[in-house]
Structure 1
Amino acid sequence: MNYQPDPAFAGLFAAFTSDPASIGAQLTAQMASLAAHDPLIVSTGSDIALFPGSGAAPLFESFRKSTRGFIELTAVSHLPLALAYLARMRELDGAASGDSAWRALAQRLLEHAQQTRRANTLALWRDYVNVASFAGHEQKIVDLVDYTCAVSSAMLEDVLREPDLLTFDTLNARYFAPAEGAGVPIPMNDVMFATFGLAYLDIVFRIGNWLRAQRIDWTRAMALVSGRSGRPTAGVTWASNNICYLLWRASERAMAAERILVAPHAPSFSVTQLPDAAGLAELERGYRSLWLNTRASIDVARQLFPHDPGYCLEPAAADGMPPIVDIRDRRATTARLRRIMEDPAQLLSNCVADYITDQLHANGNDPARVPIPGFTDVDYPRARHA
């Protein structure tokens, strides 16, 4: 016989919270009525929406795959890492030198790198990608991409000829972190950090400007970071989800950090597949209800236990990432790269997020003045077809 709770107890349970007509649901509805005019910001893994309140139509902006330059820069930042993954595949394969899976993948990666090098032109970055935060740096980006594709192609050709070179010892000594005068002149660790930094600079600059242009009342704003962001285990806390820090800094710290909630299991949306007006209104109602339902217990606790120690959220960016005091400090930048790959809770962009966000604010929101390790302090060889 299947167990069923006693009906009287089940009724008491539902009376508080689990029924649409419960006390909890009714309190949330009462709060929603009072907060109907308050702005609500909802961020997903790729897009951000502002629901202004009072039934006004939402506004949307994107900050990842659908934005200019994101795929281009991210593809280049992943190129060195792809070689490391190939080395791991060969290691697991017992260092076999025959027709193993890694060889076919390495050949295909080489072809992609060569095609990207040919497509990488000043016209592409200046006229087609045409990102405001890259203005004035387009030629240097061309040089960075050309260099990355050239040395990666050379390394791939070497390991395809001599498979015994595809080891982590060789890659570190000749490619990722060579000693001065050994291997490539600019370590690939620098390249990875630089490309991450450039991509995130555009996100902070564009999203920050977009948010400020909406003239949001930050003291009343509600914010929700919704759904999956990056890998399934990452970005589920305030400190590990860099959008929280971005929003807080965009408000010039006027928004209470506690009003930015992370809801990894909440519904998501995409600007490429938005519902109709009725569907958007329902989506907004769901988000507001989720935020306010969570807020209800906070407000009740503060009045229920007025003489006991309370919880205070202290905004923390990147959860203890090594500080970057000097952009030439490779120990700090490579430690950050290791941290975001080794810690499942971290978004990959967290290796640069707090640093770029703070630097953009410290430099008057001028992306041209933001020092990026591996880019600002490095002179890349001029691209062959510059």
Structure 2
Amino acid sequence: MIHEPNAAFAGLFRAFTSDPASIGNQLTQQMKRLDADAPLLVSTGSDIALFPGAGRAPQIESFRKSTRGFIELTAVSHLPLALAYLARMRELDHADARDAIDSNWRHGATRLVEHAARVRAANSTALWRDDVAVKSLAGQEAKIAALVDYTCAVSIDMLERAQHEPDLMSFDALRDRYFAPLDVLAHAMPVSMNDVMFATFGLAFLDIVYRIGSWLRAQSLDWRRAMVLVSGRAGRPTAGATWASNNMCHLIWRASDRMLPPERLFVAPHAPSFSVVDLPDAAGLAALEQTYRSLWQNTRASIDVARELFPDHEGYRFEPTAAESMPPIASPDDRHAMSARLRRIMEDPAQLLSNCVADYIVDQLNDNGNRPDEVVIPGFTNVDYPAPSPH
């Protein structure tokens, strides 16, 4: 039986918090009116919008799946990981109560070879220069094409040999021959797949940081008044719910030249989201803006009240949680840190996958005056990928 609260108590409860005419909601609306012309920046899992305030139309920029090069680079970064998943499938095949032992991973391996072969055939310097045409990667097209060809060729070879030597699709074999090859195998595999994964993550995120950072700087925002929300789901359902685990927080803060007070950025994983591929009409966007402004001001209200109510007590000072930070990269050749970061983003459900490179790329780009050609990408810049071979 559901409990029905006493009507008098329920009325008192709603008078403060849950009724549209409640004191809490009235304070939120009052704060909204006073800050109606303040810029509101909202970042979702794939897009970022600036609502300039005072009823002016928003400006929106994308930074993930709908942008040039994201799918291409991410597909290549996922290829080595797919082999690791096949190895796990092979392990589980022996514990799986099915008639066709090994069919699961073998079928997946066959399909992966077909996909990788098609990518290898489509890949070229011209593709990256003229079709993908990512401004931040200009001048690197031949090396990226070599990286892609090498990754596909090595992966196809491993997958095809594993069909006849199944033990190659074990974690011991993959670690020693593919992800971090032993020194004696360096002639056959000069670049590790750990390098490849870190490099492709870095290249993809470099473009995101460059474009979004440039876009934010071009807005000439009053960062001291800006209201910022990182809204909705980002990546995995469990990921990106805090400042330290959601790389857009660090990206926006550095793009503001550290002028944005961190306390004015709220991460709201359960707030409404939007996507440029399915935007509402002008009226819908206006309504969405009001929803975001109400959410931000409602969150801010308790902060302002607390500061006035408890002036003699130590206030809360925001600091990203050290436990959520990535292992530091001592140099572009610090492969121990690179591998540690790759493990961390896969093992920690709170992390976005791009966090393995995000803070490093954001800081590198900002420290180099937003010049992507001067960013040193671990696993790429100081690594020589073999020239594509005929196939």
TM-score, length-normalised on structure 2? 0.96
After superposition, residues 52-131 of structure 1 pair within 5 angstroms as: 52-94=52-94, 98=101, 100-131=103-134
Name the structure 1 match of 2:33. Answer: 33
Number of corresponding residues:
386
How far off is 1:75 after superposition?
0.1
Paired residue secondary structure (2:267): strand
How far off is 1:384 after superposition?
2.4
After superposition, residues 1-386 of structure 1 pair within 5 angstroms as: 2-94=2-94, 98=101, 100-182=103-185, 184-315=189-320, 319-384=324-389
How far off is 1:164 after superposition?
2.2
- Check whether the contact 2:90–2:102 (CA below 8 A) recurs between aligned residues: no
Q: Distance in 1 between matches of 2:238 and 2:193?
A: 27
- Check whether the contact 1:318–1:354 (CA below 8 A) recurs between aligned residues: no
How far off is 1:190 after superposition?
0.4
Amino acid at match of 2:119: T
Q: Distance in 2 between matches of 1:178 and 1:78?
A: 18
Amino acid at match of 1:138: E
How far off is 1:320 after superposition?
2.3
How far off is 1:314 after superposition?
2.2
How far off is 1:214 after superposition?
1.1
Amino acid at match of 2:360: Y
Q: Deviations over 1:338-384 (max 9, x none)?
A: 00000011000000000000000111111011001100010000112
Paired residue secondary structure (1:18): coil
Q: Distance in 2 between matches of 1:168 and 1:184?
A: 17
Alpha carbons of structure 1 residues 56 and 93: separation in structure 2 relative to 1, 3 Å: same
Name the Cα RMSD after superposition.
Answer: 1.5
Name which of structure 1's ranges 269-278 and 90-99 shifts more when overlaid on structure 2.
90-99
**Segments of 4+ moved more than 3 angstroms:** 95-99, 315-318
Amino acid at match of 1:51: F
Q: Where in structure 1 are there 5+ consecutive unaligned residues?
A: none
- Check whether the contact 2:198–2:338 (CA below 8 A) recurs between aligned residues: yes
Paired residue secondary structure (2:305): helix
Q: Deviations over 1:98-153 (max 9, x none)?
A: 55111111100000001000100111100111111101111100000010000001
Q: Distance in 2 between matches of 1:316 and 1:342?
A: 18
Paired residue secondary structure (1:91): helix
Q: Distance in 2 between matches of 1:195 and 1:26?
A: 49
Q: Distance in 1 between matches of 2:233 and 2:126?
A: 35
Q: Distance in 1 between matches of 2:182 and 2:334?
A: 14
Q: Where in structure 2 are there 5+ consecutive unaligned residues?
A: none
Q: Distance in 1 between matches of 2:369 and 2:363?
A: 10
Q: Distance in 2 between matches of 1:196 and 1:95?
A: 34
Alpha carbons of structure 1 residues 318 and 124: separation in structure 2 relative to 1, 3 Å: farther
Alpha carbons of structure 1 residues 70 and 317: separation in structure 2 relative to 1, 3 Å: farther
Alpha carbons of structure 1 residues 352 and 318: separation in structure 2 relative to 1, 3 Å: farther
Q: Distance in 2 between matches of 1:317 and 1:278?
A: 42
